[in-house]
Amino acid sequence: MASERPGATEMLLLPATLTLRESRDTLRLLSQALQGERDGEVLVDASPLQQFDTAALAVLLECRRLALAFGRPFGVRNAPEKLSALAALYGVNELLLPSAPAPAALPAATA
């Protein structure tokens, strides 16, 4: 999964299922990929996710922590709507999904 050019974007792919049961192995694999390539932006493609729980957020937060420790920008792309909603519920959407659109504001009441 490592990129070939220094400073290039490294794309990491999440599995289809990421629950507590899979979280340890998934985190180990993603951590190894992050440590193998220490230059450029780290992007996690969440599009394969179909079944997940809050462990997916924990894995993504740890990947973000590792990337930032290496001085690398971090982002999640193609997050399923339910993952975005879960991140918002737990208040970590700005950390993991900063490019996600903010919830629509309620229209102002007119007098």
* pLDDT tens, residue by residue, 13-57: 999 999 999 999 999 999 998 888 778 899 999 999 999 999 999
pLDDT at 37: 77
Q: Which CATH superfamily is domain 10-94 in?
A: STAS domain (3.30.750.24)
Q: How confident is the model at residue 80 (pLDDT cuts 50, 70, 90)?
A: very high
pLDDT at 55: 97
Domain parsing of the chain, residue ranges: 10-94
Is 90 exceeded by the pLDDT of residue 101? no
73-98 average pLDDT score: 94
Q: Which residues contact 59 (CB under 8 A, 6 or more apart)?
A: 18, 23, 26, 27, 30
**Residue 93 CA to its chain's centroid (Å):** 10
Residue, of 98 and 106, whose pLDDT is higher: 98
In contact, 41 and 9? CB cutoff 8 Å: yes
pLDDT at 108: 53
- Cα gap 46→83, rounded to integer Å: 9
Q: Which of 2-6, 14-18, 32-36, 84-88 has the lowest mean pLDDT?
A: 2-6
In the chain, pLDDT over 70 holds for what percent of residues? 81
Is 60 exceeded by the pLDDT of residue 105? no
